[in-house]
Amino acid sequence: MKRPASSESDQLDIKHNHYQIYNLLYWLAKSAPSCPLTKSAFDNYAATHQEFGPREYPNLDWWSGSSRWSGPVSPRTVDELVALSSEEFLLELAAAKPDDETGPTREGLIFKTSEAIARRYEWGSDLVRTLRERGVWDADLWTGIVSGWRRADLTESQWLEVLKTLLEINEITEAIRLEASQLLETGISKASHAVPISCFDLCFRAVNKLWHASLAQECLDPEAIEDWLSLAINRPAGNLVFCWLKLLSRLGEDNSASLTLIPPHYKESLDAIVNDTSQAAIIGRVILASQTLFLFNLDPDWTTEKIVPLFRFSRNPQRAI
């Protein structure tokens, strides 16, 4: 499912994702040269991405023979990066070429930085400490850092540190809200190395913080939206509502929690989604409505009062799901 690009947040590997789509369409057009649909789809996409060219083997993820990375190129490997001190890394970053030039670029370096953080958490932790001390808030670098955390298998103490960092930094919250919402949603539901129950309070607060940062950032054109649920699950506001719901699900699975109703502090957040007029809340209500059965099984009275009316078009067409 394609995620719409966020104007407030530079996604670390968006160019690579576009290139994968380009190669898929090229392969389809090449495989079915007599099909006007595949040819038209490729021609239209290629026209808007003239910086791309087809790779040698567009239909394969691997092949026997020489190989090369088709995405942004880094001046340093992961092993070289983790051997650098934080100060040395910042010098390397300052010297990196702009992304619109050929060869190794800043984008490539940050892509590898994300990989390095996923592989060596301690190195990333030292980097974050240095960035905070020096007041370095480059959006592309911080989104790369958060993306690295999402790809890492974090321990309980590391989750504690990551969540505290998200709560303590305010300078970059809006820029990283997409990556941070993905980090938390993925982290809550992972089969292993998930956010531990002991960190749920911090996680809840981090979700709340990101939600408030999203209230003024979501921008929708209702007339152009054909599938509200597809849109909602691909936006930061939708991710964050899923975070609350997945936290509740995890609490319900934990025997020691004895969860039988939605806790009051969760109800406060969910009530705000139901009642608010922001576009983030519109996205949030779509997610809540899609999870009506889960919410009803958890708290029938609250769901009957708050969620069921969302389906009544005659009551308020602008708020109906």
For tokens 């690579």, the residue is 16
Domain ranges of the chain: 9-59, 200-321
Are the C-beta atoms of 286 and 228 separated by less than 8 Å? yes
212-224 burial code (b ≥16 CB/10 A, e <16):
ebbeebbeeeeee
**pLDDT tens digits for range 60-89:** 454 444 445 556 889 999 999 999 999 999
Burial class of residue 204 (count of CB atoms within 10 Å of its CB; 0-12, 13-18, 19+): buried
**pLDDT tens digits for range 264-302:** 999 999 999 999 999 999 999 999 999 999 999 999 999
Burial class of residue 230 (count of CB atoms within 10 Å of its CB; 0-12, 13-18, 19+): middle
Please name the residues in contact with 221: beta carbons below 8 A apart, sequence gap of 6 or more: none
**pLDDT tens digits for range 15-59:** 666 767 877 777 777 777 777 777 777 777 777 766 666 655 555
Are the C-beta atoms of 295 and 303 separated by less than 8 Å? yes
pTM here is 0.74
Take residue 230 and report the two structure tokens written for it: 């597809």
